[in-house]
Structure 1
């Protein structure tokens, strides 16, 4: 069988009254989840106008001078809100830091909110750029889009529940009070002679949380690994479509039956690339356990229960810690080289 890129599915039957078409959509998504956990959807309810406006927001932000972007550096917070510098993360061990910069946005959590008081996962007030053209429209559009995709994520989870032959409301306890993160991402054009083995827009990785919905611009670069063949498959941008993929947390709940698959970005197009992934984690206190109707008779759960917060926090710390260690190693090597050069010069004198 020749591997093919994640299929583009018409999601509109989810909202319609044609039970046969809806059952067919559910079966298509079930097969995707069993194979590699990736598919694209059209026919959703996020308007194309809103998508174009929010992509314009991303471009306006990344056009700002670096010093303006750094005014809202996410390292000023402990809850991952704000600007992420280029090369802040290494998602693929053994590669260079990822060639991307980003802006983290989430639900507006005031400082008197229980999530902020108790330092829950990624919960706090957003940091907004003041120098961006029309900052009020930037904030308004960003949050309008955030909530629109939140609604779509809940619809996707309802469909995933149907693939398990349970009620579409099954995941409501997870979506109520859920934490999600939206990221504006910018990939500078990589030189065509860059070493593909070391340089990535985003290194090969699986997503940490429950489900991801990605809006791409017209520039390609996203690739999904076809595990049976070992081939990297290009996920071509489809105007208006969302690339949907399961994360590690969902795969864990699915006892590894539904897949959280490896993907990466290599931007060799010679153009700037922008994308907006939207990561659904879930209610931080929701206890993730093995899902119903996923195990074969007599098969035991592979994993103990874990909260959303415990799972996602550990993954964050690993990927960002990897980049910090890489940079420390470079500093150590540079320091050793400098000492050696000074020693050689002293001997020569």
Structure 2
């Protein structure tokens, strides 16, 4: 069953973060595309966060994926560390080993209080990118003792990849571009999927579930749960909990969107605080374009008095810098020494 909540109902429950009802657009109603694009443009120019409802991803599939996250992290530590993160940053990352050290939002000097399992697009053995040996294009690491885990997780990432492609005409229209402008860049997106576990542990001063940061990618989709944790920094500088709406996604733009739009669309700081009293699980889907996409100022985001602010660079180049600086897989090399801790 897919979420069915009217825009008015959701708007009554959210004071500051826009809610975009995708039902008219998904059903092809006349005028729905420019209307949704206007809402997205206003959200990303002012806050950088919005919530989508009636998105078409089945409720049962979302619940199943949360269950898989819980099942993975319930395994013994030595089983998880056997899948330690590889050089492509796919696999298991233990708690307390990383943070976004390059953040210009906060002086992040303590590691984050969550553990996570990462994967990217699953590629066939004859895939040219997989065969190239380049970083961040695979292979994924999969547990051998969790029957159905791989199949269920890939079912979810397929659904999210499809949802992201459906939203590309909205993003393009919001930027006064032809609706199909981003289609080629996202035909084979470079996404990262993360199954995270936040235990209810005490944080030290200036320590977080995830420390304040901006995302490196284009758009992030976070299926919402009733366990709070995600906070967004509002335009006035205050931190606000992202309100919970059942069967919705919290969506934010990242650094690639910010660079591509010449700063027109925000890459908004956010963080996660450790939960209180119960474990929190999160399944964020980080969407980026094809790894070789050149990110350069869009034609509608520059002009007289508004020159390009950022040097053109490929998404691949940005990922190399960002992952090496923040999620260095070599920091997981000694996990066998601590598996019993």
Is TM more than 0.5 here?
Answer: yes
Cα deviations by residue, 1:46-79 (Å, 9 ceiling, x for unpaired): 11010011111011111111011111111xx211
Kindly report which structure 2 residues correspond to 1:163-312, keeping only aligned pairs within 5 A, or say none: 163-191=174-202, 194-195=203-204, 197-227=205-235, 229-312=236-319
User: Residue in 2 aligned with 1:48?
Assistant: 59
The CA distance in 2 between the partners of 1:96 and 1:70, in whole Å, is 22
Asked whether the 8 Å contact 1:248–1:260 carries over to 2, the reply is yes
Cα deviations by residue, 1:324-347 (Å, 9 ceiling, x for unpaired): 5xx9xxxxxxxxxxxxxxxxxxxx
- Alignment CA distance shift 1:161-1:121 (3 Å): farther
User: What secondary structure, in the 3-state scheme, does the structure 2 residue paired with 1:83 have?
Assistant: strand
The CA distance in 2 between the partners of 1:268 and 1:18, in whole Å, is 41
The CA distance in 2 between the partners of 1:58 and 1:22, in whole Å, is 34
Measured on the aligned residues, the alpha-carbon RMSD in Å equals 2.1
Equivalent residue for 1:60, pick from 71, 78, 85? 71
Equivalent residue for 2:40, pick from 13, 26, 29? 29
The CA distance in 1 between the partners of 2:328 and 2:33, in whole Å, is 43
Paired residues in the alignment total 314
Q: Kindly state the Cα deviation for residue 112 of structure 1 after the two structures are TM-superposed.
A: 4.0
Q: Kindly state the Cα deviation for residue 111 of structure 1 after the two structures are TM-superposed.
A: 4.7
Equivalent residue for 2:145, pick from 118, 131, 144? 131
Asked whether the 8 Å contact 1:5–1:234 carries over to 2, the reply is no
The answer as to 2:91 corresponding to 1:86 is no
Kindly report which structure 2 residues correspond to 1:111-122, keeping only aligned pairs within 5 A, or say none: 111-122=125-136
- Alignment CA distance shift 1:255-1:323 (3 Å): farther
The answer as to 2:324 corresponding to 1:313 is no
Which piece of structure 1 moves more, 243-252 or 4-13? 4-13
User: Residue in 1 aligned with 2:165?
Assistant: 154
Q: Kindly state the Cα deviation for residue 170 of structure 1 after the two structures are TM-superposed.
A: 0.5
The answer as to 2:122 corresponding to 1:108 is yes
User: Residue in 2 aligned with 1:99?
Assistant: 113
Q: Kindly state the Cα deviation for residue 322 of structure 1 after the two structures are TM-superposed.
A: 12
Which structure has more helix as a fraction of its residues?
A: 1
Asked whether the 8 Å contact 1:97–1:323 carries over to 2, the reply is no
User: Residue in 2 aligned with 1:334?
Assistant: none
**Consecutive unaligned residues in structure 1, runs of 5 or more:** 328-349
Q: Kindly state the Cα deviation for residue 140 of structure 1 after the two structures are TM-superposed.
A: 1.0
Cα deviations by residue, 1:67-98 (Å, 9 ceiling, x for unpaired): 11111111xx2111111111221125333100
TM-score (norm 1): 0.85
